[in-house]
Amino acid sequence: MIRRLARFRQRFGIAGRKVAVRTELAWYWRWLGILVILAAAFALAAWMYETGRRFAGFDQRELQQQIRELERQNGRVRDELKGTREELESLRAATAASESRLAIERSAQHKLAQQIKLLERENARLREELATFESLLASEARVSKPLSIHRLTVQPDVLPGEYRYRLLLLTGTGRREQQFQGRLELVVSLTEGGKDAMMVIPEATGDAAPAFRLSFKYFHRVEGSFRVSPKAKVKGVQVRVYEGKAAQARATADATIE
């Protein structure tokens, strides 16, 4: 009995262990507090993260602002590049047009130079013919001959077998007021395949070809061309001039081709 009383005093008496009294909280209030603490911790961590980025130079807003500024600069550079390209295309077009005009001018100058050379040669030939006319008009041969052939030349042309001839016809003083009407005939002596041959131009087909008809009063310059086989070699050409429908030539002249 005494032992039980001692144990009771030891447990519930002044010498017993201290007992703490606490207020009981519901479980949902505990979870709510935990969530609040976690949210505050996340917010603090985010704030510290952003603050650290700003201090380190990685501010998101500044980066976005810089990106927008770079995009604006890129747009300006793109517009300037587009304008530069358009200007370059315009300059290229102008250069091409200038080169085209320059090429046309060069071609025109080249053609003009060729025409000038041709005119100079023609002028020299006309002067020479004029001097020939003056000498023939003053000569006694014109008085004795009713028709004469002068300055006969026959030369090979560009194409094989093609020849060009040139001559001058002059009437005598006795036919001063008469119109000469007649025709021209070429007798070509050639060699082909080791054989000699003759060819009459134009062929005897009745009326003379228009290119070989003659009608003049004082003098007449004749130019033309004829063609033979490219394998043939022309040795000489005789020019015959007939008056009217006469069968006998009024004048003849020979040209030798070397």
* Partner residues linked to 148 by β-bridges: 170
SS3 217: coil
188 pLDDT band, cuts 50/70/90, is very high
Lowest mean pLDDT among 13-22, 26-35, 63-72, 169-178: 13-22
Residue 235: is its pLDDT beyond 60? yes
Give me the CATH code for the 143-256 domain, please. 2.60.40.10
Note whether 14 and 20 are within 8 A (CB): no
Residue 57: is its pLDDT beyond 60? no
Provide the percentage of residues in the chain whose pLDDT is more than 70: 76
Residue 248 CB contacts under 8 Å (≥ 6 apart), including other chains: 242
Structure-token match 């505990």, residue found? 30
**How many whole angstroms separate alpha carbon 108 and alpha carbon 102?**
10
> Residue 26: how many CA atoms within 13 Å on its side-chain side?
3
DSSP 8-state code for residue 53: H
Residue 74: is its pLDDT beyond 70? yes
* Partner residues linked to 164 by β-bridges: 155, 225
Lowest mean pLDDT among 188-192, 199-203, 209-213: 209-213
Helix intervals (H) in 13-59:
27-56
> What integer is the mean pLDDT of 196-206?
81
The residue type found at 97 is A
Q: How do residues 1-17 score in pLDDT, each as one tens digit?
A: 666 666 656 565 555 55
Cβ-in-10-Å burial (0-12, 13-18, 19+) of 35 comes to: exposed
Domain ranges in the chain are 143-256
**How many whole angstroms separate alpha carbon 102 and alpha carbon 218?**
49
For 81-228, strand residue ranges (E) read 147-156, 162-171, 180-192, 195-201, 213-216, 219-227
With CA atoms as reference, report the closest residue to 221 among 153, 139, 159, 143. 153
Note whether 200 and 186 are within 8 A (CB): yes
Pairing type for strands 251-256 and 195-201 reads unpaired
Q: How do residues 100-157 score in pLDDT, each as one tens digit?
A: 888 888 888 888 888 898 888 888 877 877 777 677 666 655 556 778 888 899 999 8
* Partner residues linked to 165 by β-bridges: 154, 224
Please say whether the dihedral angle defined by the alpha carbons of residues 168, 172, 178 and 182, taken in this order, is positive or negative: negative
Extract long-range pairs of 129-132: CB within 8 Å, 24+ residues apart.
129/168, 129/221, 132/168
Look at phi and psi of residue 57 and say left if phi exceeds 0, alpha if psi is from -120 to 50, else beta: left
pTM reported for the whole predicted model: 0.50
> What integer is the mean pLDDT of 71-76?
84
Task: Give the tokens for residue 218.
Answer: 């004082």
pLDDT at residue 163, as a whole number: 94
